[in-house]
Structure formats: C-alpha cells, structure tokens
Amino acid sequence: MIVDLSDYSAIPDATQVQCLKTLVSRAIVGASYGTVWKAQIDVLEQGGIPVEAYLFPDSMVQLDGRGWWLDCETASATKDSVRAICKCGGPRPYATPIGIYSRKSWWDANMGDWNIKAEFPDLMLWDARYVHGGNDPCLGWEVEQHMIPLFIPYGGFEQADLVQWHDSIDICGINVDLSREESMTDADFKRFTDYVDIKLIQMIAWINAQKFSKAQ
C-alpha cells in the first residue's frame, strides 16, 4: 500500500510513522504547495519509509534528485508544459519525472489522443481510479479491493503502475490518500484492510458505548 500526503496533511509524529511503516511500502508527498512537505519527508524517511514526491507544472521546487511524479490534473498541465518537463526536467536539480499522475477522464478532455508514452517510453503512470471517493462506513474494505475498476488505456499507456483508489481518509491519525501497485497481491492488500477493519470495529464499539451511556 502507498499513502500520499499533501499540504492538507499534518506532519506525522514518530508514533504515527511507525504505525504507517507496518502498513505501507512507501509514501508520496506533494511538494509544490504549502510549507510542511519538507518536514513530512524528513520524519517519514527518519522512520524508515521510502519517500517520493509529486509536483505540479506551475510550481516546481528543488528535490535534490528525489524520485518524483508530475501531476497532470490542472490547467497548468498542457501538452507543451508536460512535454518540456518530461524532456528536460525543468531547472536543475529537478531531473525528469519517473511518471505522471492523471486520470482517464481528465486526460481525454485535456490531452486528447496524445500518446505521451510513445514520446517518453520510460514514463510510468499513476492512475486515479476511485472506488467510491469518500469514507463510506457501510462499504467493507475487503469488498473494495475487488471493486477497483479495470484500467482503460489512455495516453499510450496499456497499463498503470500505480492506482490511487481512495481519497482523503484517516490512517494512523494522518489524513492521506490511498494508492497501490496495480499488481499488488491480495495478501498484501489484506494486511492493510485488516488494520482498517479493526479500527472501524473499534469506532463502532465506541459509538455504541456512547449511545448506551446516554440511555442510562
């Protein structure tokens, strides 16, 4: 499992990082906006979690050689800007991105039939493909893993490398989005969903206890 953090996420403390470490293989931190991203990266890496970053075309920052993804979901991501960044990486020391983050509906509407994969064969795809896009306590997590839609090719990609399948959710006390490798095994996913199911059961038990105490 992979978590991504933005400037809306808090800076994890050491206990939260150790909790995340038992669940995730890496974190991806948004570094274009806000002021907390450097601290987020530092504390995650100090806790032993590998960290990549993502950047928007209109707000590039220095990453000192760190692997990063180019976020293509806003007006600043045009064919010209994306092509220039994928070719040259922008002012050093950005280097070129390891891949792009996007979703089929946005790409089709804004990039049309541009085959970016043909121009940049080594580019990977982090595809946004939500199951439901919200925290639905009635939808079991074990069910969700089987509900991620199949990938539909776009941009010249025949498959995605990562899929972001859940937005804003509290994991280990930190607000994150959830992604996974497209090829992630059910066993890997179950290790994560077991944790979430336990937390959900604990929350329901607490709510019921509150209702019972009020009824007395």
Domains of the chain (ranges, CATH numbers): 2-215 (3.20.20.80)
**Predicted TM-score of the model (pTM):** 0.82
pLDDT, mean of residues 103-121: 97
The torsion of the CA quartet 87, 90, 96, 97, rounded to 10 degrees, works out to -110
Compare 198 and 11 and report the one with higher pLDDT. 11
> Which range, of 24-33, 37-46, 136-145, 146-155, averages the lowest pLDDT?
136-145
Tell me the average pLDDT across 35-40. Answer: 95
The sign of the dihedral angle between the CA atoms of 108, 105, 81, 178 is negative
155 or 167, which is more confident?
A: 155
Residue 137 has pLDDT above 80, yes or no: no
**pLDDT value at position 133?**
45
Q: Which two tokens stand for residue 117?
A: 């994969």
More reliable by pLDDT, 173 or 131:
173
* Tokens of residue 184, six digits: 């992630």
Structure tokens of 6?
């933005």
Beta carbons of 103 and 128 less than 8 angstroms apart: yes
Question: Tokens standing for 102?
Answer: 């996007």
pLDDT at 166: 83
